[in-house]
Amino acid sequence: MLRGPAAVWAALGPLLWACGLALRGGMLYPRESPSRELKELNGLWSFRADFSENRRQGFEQQWYRTPLRESGPTLDMPVPSSFNDVGQDRQLRSFVGWVWYEREATLPQRWTQDLGTRVVLRIGSAHYYAIVWVNGVHVAEHEGGHLPFEADISKLVQSGPLASCRITVAINNTLTPHTLPPGTILHQTDTSKYPKGYFVQNINFDFFNYAGLHRPVLLYTTPATYIDDITVSTSVDQDTGLVDYQIFVEGGEHFQLEVRLLDEEGKAVARGTGGRGQLQVPNAHLWWPYLMHEHPAYLYSLEVRLTAQTAAGSVSDFYTLPVGIRTVAVTEHQFLINGKPFYFHGVNKHEDADIRGKGFDWPLLVKDFNLLRWLGANAFRTSHYPYAEEVMQLCDRYGIVVIDESPGVGIVLVESYSNVSLQHHLEVMEELVRRDKNHPAVVMWSVANEPASFLKPAGYYFKTLIAHTKALDPSRPVTFVTNSNYEADLGAPYVDVICVNSYYSWYHDYGHMEVIQLQLTTQFENWYRTYQKPIIQSEYGADTIAGFHQDPPLMFSEEYQKGLLEQYHLVLDQKRKEYVVGELIWNFADFMTNQSPQRVMGNKKGIFTRQRQPKGAAFLLRERYWKLANETRYPWSAVKSQCLENSPFTL
Ligand code: BDP
């Protein structure tokens, strides 16, 4: 039986959706099609950090007006990448304030001369606050470092004889109590200790605040009347897959829409017309998670064709969206995918690596997915912010289930619960849902990580935030990740699944692994007794310096990490038979943090090093995850096709 709130949104969801309360306004991932072209602007950009005392010299001198090299010296800066670790300058590594990026782009003649072509500039991620100019004209501003934004620049590039355009992006990485994540700037005024004007950025989260153009920047085209957004929502009626679609068109009023759903062989299995409808797929191949089914991650393609009547004649726009047919539901003690109990056995990640920081990198991404599959992981959480869209696409393709988290990490100040903060958080959830709503891999939204959810305003804050997120997307459960005391947590009544982090015998009872079983059992029993909701152990782990060995185990040795994990697993193996529906190790790989006496060149709780080499714990987890996969796969037929060579999968 679906439990209370879950049942309500399961019932109301399609209704709200059909009534058109679904999210409007598109940020479709840019894809080439017969009507759309792309031009990537990755590579070397010109760069300058504004080291002036007030950090505003760039605005005072209007650096966007002329080529950046004319207003002072510039550096070469790779995009995508964080700027922090590519240089040899200590001050730039820890720079707080405005940095300036600039790049000249040559445009195909048709883009600048055909007035029926719409030219869009899209920035995958600029951390944290960004202002964009094209040829010195302000075209966009965006707050938040983990979600894309774009600007229609057709008029600018089509207004003169220029065949190129100059793109300038100013980015500020300053965090305040109202940003997500929040932070504070501490001004040191004691001149006997600090130089004049000295300040530092303080944060309440445990990863380095890398900054820059972190994801691809590109230009793409559409016709002037274009497919702006598509929303799909899927359900299953016996063997028939149901795909509800809604298509939003901009730039014109006279048009027709045709849709076709193609299977993996390219055969059309359903067709429809109009901006809204339901496609029925008899004997549908469902989208199953990795290791749960012999053919996981089945993706159909929704081909959308728009034909518009314009003054210049008839024009078409084409967009193809991958679609996975699957359902998600939550009961009092289970998490169901396609009606079958799903157990999350996976990891928490970070976007983090040597040199590039949080910069998007294909080799790193493919390596990470190969490691996840080697490990037998079927899920991860995008701790602690939305990851690149290309990551989500690979999750769809490989069947890796995602808990999609907002950048709501480190919300611990009362000020960060103000209306200003809440308003921004609501907007961020809108941007996130708009971007990721069509990914079958995304099975749950996480609105925050370890907020001070015991503070008085937290009750209203999370009630509003979670209700808003459910209204945006009634098809998925919503959670936030807590480390509060179960009785004091004011947000827990509103979540669908309890996600709890704990660090027994790490941050307290140091070295005493013998207390883990008792403390973890108590934790689970308290939460379940109080809320009767399924529970995910959303973090647990121990810092481990690869190559440190000590037996009997001592903290920071590889033996201690393994020993601690084993103690957790004993309890998880009991409770997963009752209401625990998942375990996510902290962390997939070592990652960079702020400097502090508690961190040895970053957080070392990875089961892989930052260079993606396994510690002993990776082998232990691998054995466990494949064992869990053996026990929880559905149906009980061969899953051999998924086995990597030498996998411990038994048949
Ligand atoms: C958890 C946080 C995570 C930290 C981890 C740790 O959610 O961001 O990195 O602790 O201390 O509480 O390793």
Is pLDDT of 650 > 60? no
Residues 6+ apart with CB under 8 A from 25: 228, 229, 248, 434
Task: Give pLDDT tens digits for 396-454.
Answer: 999 999 999 999 999 999 999 999 999 999 999 999 999 999 999 999 999 999 999 99
Closest by CA position to 226, among listed 114, 307, 121: 307
Task: State which ligand 1 atom lies nearest to the alpha carbon of 449.
Answer: 7
**Phi and psi for 457 in degrees, rounded to 5?**
-70, -10
> Mind listing the pLDDT tens digit for each residue in 178-217?
999 999 999 999 999 999 999 999 999 999 999 999 999 9
For residue 479, report the distance from its CA to the centre of ligand 1, in Å: 18
Q: Is 348 in the pocket of ligand 1 (CB under 6 A)?
A: no
Handedness of CA 331, 337, 343, 345 (dihedral sign): negative
Structural tokens at position 81: 């990448």
CB neighbour burial string for 146-175, b if at least 16 within 10 angstroms, e if fewer = bbbbbbebbebbbeeeeeebbbbbbbbbbb
pLDDT of 634: 65
pTM, two decimals, is: 0.94
Number of helical (H) and strand (E) elements in the chain, helices listed first: 12, 32
pLDDT digit string (tens) for 117-130? 999 999 999 999 99
CB atoms within 10 A of CB 597: 5
Q: pLDDT tens-digit profile of 217-235?
A: 999 999 999 999 999 999 9
The reply to whether ligand 1 has any atom less than 6 angstroms from the CB of 603 is yes
Q: Decide whether any atom of ligand 1 lies within 6 Å of the 206 Cβ.
A: yes
Which pLDDT band, with edges at 50, 70 and 90, does 371 fall under? very high
> Is any atom of ligand 1 closer than 6 Å to the C-beta of 501?
yes
Alpha-helical segments (H) within 88-215: 90-93, 109-113, 154-157
pLDDT of res. 388: 98
Strand-strand pairing, 300-310 and 313-323: antiparallel
Distance 206 CA to ligand 1 centre (A): 6
What string of DSSP letters covers 38-73? EEE--EEEEEEE--STTS-HHHHTTTTSS-GGGGS-
Query: How many CB atoms lie under 10 A from the CB of residue 115?
Result: 11
d(CA 24, CA 108): 31
Mutate which of 203, 205, 206 for ligand 1 pocket (most atoms within 8 A of beta carbon) = 206
Residue 209: CB within 6 Å of ligand 1?
A: no
Contact 195, 187 (CB under 8 A): no
What is residue 163's predicted lDDT score, i.e. its pLDDT?
Answer: 74
449 in contact with ligand 1, CB cutoff 6 A: yes
Q: What is the mean pLDDT of residues 270-299?
A: 96
The per-residue pLDDT of the chain, averaged, comes to 93
Residue 312's pLDDT band (cuts 50, 70, 90): confident
SS3 523: helix
Going from the Cα of 621 to the center of ligand 1, the distance in angstroms, rounded, reads 19
- Cα–Cα distance between 454 and 339 in angstroms, integer? 34
The confidence score (pLDDT) of residue 631 equals 87
pLDDT band per the 50, 70, 90 thresholds, residue 22: very low
CA count, 13 A, side-chain hemisphere, 181: 26
Query: Which residue's C-alpha comes closest to atom 4 of ligand 1?
Result: 206
pLDDT band at 475 (very low <50, low <70, confident <90, very high): very high
Asked if pLDDT for residue 286 goes beyond 60, the answer is: yes
Element (H, E) at 335: strand 335-337
CA 144 – ligand 1 centroid, Å: 21
Cβ(204) – ligand 1 distance below 6 Å: no
Q: Answer for the pair 219, 120: CB distance below 8 angstroms, yes or no.
A: yes
pLDDT digits (tens, 9 = 90+) for 135-151: 999 999 999 999 999 99
**Residue 470 to residue 241: CA distance in whole angstroms:** 23
* Distance in Å, CA 243 to ligand 1 centroid: 39
Residue 128 C-alpha to ligand 1 middle, in angstroms?
21
Return d(Cα 586, Cα 566) in angstroms, integer.
14
* Angle (CA) 50 52 55, round 5°: 65
CA distance to 12, 142, 483, per residue, from 213 (Å): 40, 13, 32
**Per-residue confidence band for 291, with pLDDT thresholds at 50, 70 and 90:** very high
Residue owning the nearest CA to atom 5 of ligand 1 = 206
pLDDT in tens, 503-527: 999 999 999 999 999 999 999 999 9
Q: What are the φ and ψ backbone dihedral angles of 416, each rounded to 5 degrees?
A: -75, 0
450 touches ligand 1 (CB under 6 Å): yes
> CB within 8 A of 367, min separation 6: which ones?
612
Cα(444) to centroid of ligand 1, in Å? 20
Confidence (pLDDT) at 595: 97
Residue with structure tokens 């080291």? 51
Reported as type and span, the H/E element at residue 314 is: strand 313-323
Check pocket membership of 484 for ligand 1, CB cut-off 6 A: no
Mean pLDDT of 1-24: 41
pLDDT at 273 over 50: yes
* Residue 605, ligand 1, Cβ within 6 A: yes
Catalytic residue among 450, 539, 558, 583: 450
- pLDDT above 70 (res 165): yes
* Banded model confidence at residue 164, pLDDT cuts 50, 70, 90: confident
**Residue 328: strand, helix, or coil:** strand
CA 360 to chain centre: 13
d(C-alpha 459, C-alpha 488), whole Å: 10
Q: What is the pLDDT of residue 181?
A: 98
Of all residues in the chain, the percent with pLDDT exceeding 90 is 91
What's the pLDDT tens digit per position in 68-108? 999 999 999 999 999 999 999 999 999 999 999 999 999 99
Q: How confident is the model at residue 647 (pLDDT cuts 50, 70, 90)?
A: low
pLDDT higher than threshold 90 for residue 643: no
pLDDT grade, residue 646 (50/70/90)? low
| Model confidence band, residue 3 (pLDDT cutoffs 50, 70, 90) | very low
* Torsion angle in degrees (nearest 10) through CA of 83, 88, 91, 95: 10
Q: How far apart are CA 369 and CA 365, in angstroms?
A: 6
Q: What are 149's two structure tokens?
A: 């934004």
pLDDT tens-place string over residues 231-248:
999 999 999 999 999 999
Q: How far apart are CA 201 and CA 183, in angstroms?
A: 7
Q: pLDDT category, 311, cuts 50, 70, 90?
A: confident
Q: Identify the band that residue 648 occupies on the pLDDT scale cut at 50, 70 and 90.
A: low
Whether 150 is a known active-site residue: answer no
* Residue 20 confidence class, pLDDT cut points 50, 70, 90: very low
Instruction: List pLDDT tens digits, range 347-358.
Output: 999 999 999 999
How does residue 294 score in pLDDT terms, banded at 50, 70 and 90?
Answer: confident
User: Ligand 1 atom 6: the closest Cα is on which residue?
Assistant: 206
Position 464, amino acid: T
